[in-house]
Amino acid sequence: MYGSRTKITTEIVLAGGGHAHVQVIKSFAMKPMPGLRLTLISPDPHTPYSGMLPGLIAGHYSFDETHIDLNALCRAAGARFIMGEVTGLDLPGKRVLLAGRPALTYDFISLDTGSTPGANDVPGAALYAVPVKPIAQFLKQWREMEARALSQPDRFTIAVVGAGAGGIEVLLAAQYTLQRKRAAAGIKTPLTFHLFNSGPSVLPAGPTMLRSIFTRILNERGVHVHNESPVAALEKGLIRTAKGEQYDADEILWVTNAGAPHWPAASGLAVDENGFIAIGPTLQSLSHPNVFAAGDVAAMTFDPRPKAGVYAVRQGPVLAENLRRIVQGNALKRFKPQSQFLTLVTSGDKFAAAARNNIAVSGAWVWRWKDWIDRRFMAKFNELPNMPVQQAFFARLKAAFFPAALADEDMRCGGCGAKISDDVLKLALARVAPLKHPDVLTGLDMPDDAAVVRIPDGKISVQTIDAFRAMIDDPYMFGKIAANHALGDIYAMAAEPHTALAVVTLPADAPTKIEGDLAQMMQGAVEVLNAAGAALVGGHTAEGAELTLGFAVNGIADSAHLLRKSGLHEGDVLILTKALGTGTLLAADMRHRAKGRHVVAAIESMLQSNSTAAQVLRTHKASAATDVTGFGLAGHLLEMLRASNVSARIEMNALVILDGAIEALTAGIFSSLQGANGQAASQIDMGKYRHGDPDLEILFDPQTAGGLLAGIPSGEAAACLEALKKAGYSNARVIGKVTRNSGPRCISLV
């Protein structure tokens, strides 16, 4: 998180949330390096631990027990978390390319992005098979598959392609859970399972004793094992083997050898014959020393080994140490993969086998042993101390006792002396593309002392300003949220955004870091402003302790159609267009006590524009409107009620609340404004609710880029709500009704 910290001079980007990278983050959390910023990029906020995947499928574990929360881990470590998908590297420019968002720069980068399904050479596999990797995508498809298996009362057939440990574990776990769930649902027709193997026996890489154990188990469980039957092609519901045989299947799972993503080779990295990144014993790319790689995406050309999660786990500490050493200019360590390792394979139920050195044992006790190992590993990353607080304490202690340690260059100016340099500003703005608006006479492309904008005839100008400090570590997403938030007042008044001025404060980092963060932030903001039809015409930048961003937005409206807070009428229906809870979730995130998926959902809510919602509300004859932001739902509703001289009845069960928000409020996690907002309780008839009830506290939770609250004539309410949902506002709800003025307590809760 941005805040009081040392000047950032070096950037290490970790692309991918694999087993090696989570250990790197934990290492830097326990022993941070001043001046170094660590950034993790992952397409998902949670990364699965592959060793527990079969147990998750079988129902022995919950989602949270089998996943590492990357957002919380990064927050605890003081690292940035960027949710994105890597599509390539610009090696000369030291940039990592991402899908749907600007590239990020790096000084050093490590790649632990995993493998892809090895199905490209089998016709139909990409269309008709469900690959187990990447695991996050597989789990989404597995839930859908599970639902189909439970809704189909007839015979249901599942085929698994790949008879290694992964294929066997997934098959037996699926069989275990689906048989029990179908029986509980009263479905008596059996499930049929097929296992397709290109070799002569299952578990080809395992010792003979292990193969014997699982050959027996598969036979006892009634699994049809097809050895020496490589799959030649797939069609919808059909498998064809190289032998010319064909088998029907309702679902096909693909658990074969891993494949390499295409982008490492396309980017110019040295790769092996299979397309995996070729690395040496220091885990560096053979072609680019500032690029490291680990896990399945890497090929240890110095000591080739089959793909196995155990190597990624063992690579983690060496990778962390070498990233430290390369920043410091020291000699790097060599990674030596172990010649033997323990293999643990589960059988769906709480039974497992262990093998090492050609000796295998099995039993329920082996499963309990594996469970203990797995849970201990996960606890390292999901049970986190309050690391940023510790670091801040020691930083303050150092400053108190060793003030001379503060370098002169960190004695930064205030006032206009704190502006961002002209060179840095020009470089950053050259990377964004603000809207070219015909009414802008002078702006960013024709700079002057101020912007000059033509106001069309017959219109009025609506002006507003909003600014706040960064509450997430992704400057691109922060820019989008800040722009969305600032536009809310314009939309609430039925105005059309026209122009915007930015106010930016950035920490005093190295110029290249400032340029990168400013460009990311402004690119996100400009994308939102451009989509709104608002031209960014100028702004002001300054150095400061924390990253902040704000916008002064000018809108144009027809005076006859302007919406105000004061137009509510008795009998109007109150409609709220978004869910509540961003304030407490962001507060929980700062304390690394929010689940990553809940933070992502809050960000998605903040990113949703109010533009279309405002149009729908106007179409359905809204009498008054406001945007729900810092004062919370209760505070903003009270403003409307006082201005309109009416009261309101709120149906508490109708409120949509973001996942995790009630949990955070129950834990006593409140945003800074919660206490002040809660003073509005004196104007509320709370009915059965009492002070401290989480369901009541949500009314006072300050929202960032919240939804619109509007009064709609009762005859228009149903059609308005339907139109909002069709427009994508799935959380829009009728939350109450406007009533006759009832005096000081003008809100009643039911």
Half-sphere exposure of 310 (CA within 13 A, CB side): 12
Q: What are phi and psi of 500, to 5 degrees?
A: -145, 145
Provide the 8-state DSSP code for 339.
S
Pair of tokens at residue 484: 């969305």
Order of strands, sheet of 191-196, starting from the edge strand that comes earlier in the sequence: 130-131, 251-254, 156-161, 191-196, 224-226
Using DSSP bridges, classify how beta strands 359-363 and 349-356 pair: parallel, antiparallel or unpaired: antiparallel
| Residues with Cβ within 8 Å of residue 359, at least 6 apart in sequence | 207, 209
Dist CA 331 CA 325 (whole Å): 7
Q: Which helix (H) or strand (E) holds 442?
A: strand 440-442
Pair of tokens at residue 223: 């699994």
Provide the 8-state DSSP code for 268.
T
Q: Output 388-396 pairs: Cβ under 8 A, ≥24 positions apart.
A: 388/1, 388/75, 388/76, 388/78, 388/592, 391/32, 391/78, 392/4, 395/4, 395/5
Active-site residue, from 74, 413, 416, 746:
416
Query: Is 416 in the active site?
Result: yes
Dist CA 495 CA 664 (whole Å): 36
| Residues with Cβ within 8 Å of residue 358, at least 6 apart in sequence | 207, 208, 209
Residue 474's identity, in one-letter code, is: D
Which H, E and C letters describe 9-74, residue by residue? CEEEEEECCCHHHHHHHHHHHHCCCCCEEEEEEECCCEEECHHHHHHHHHCCCCHHHHEEEHHHHH
Q: Which residues are catalytic?
A: 416
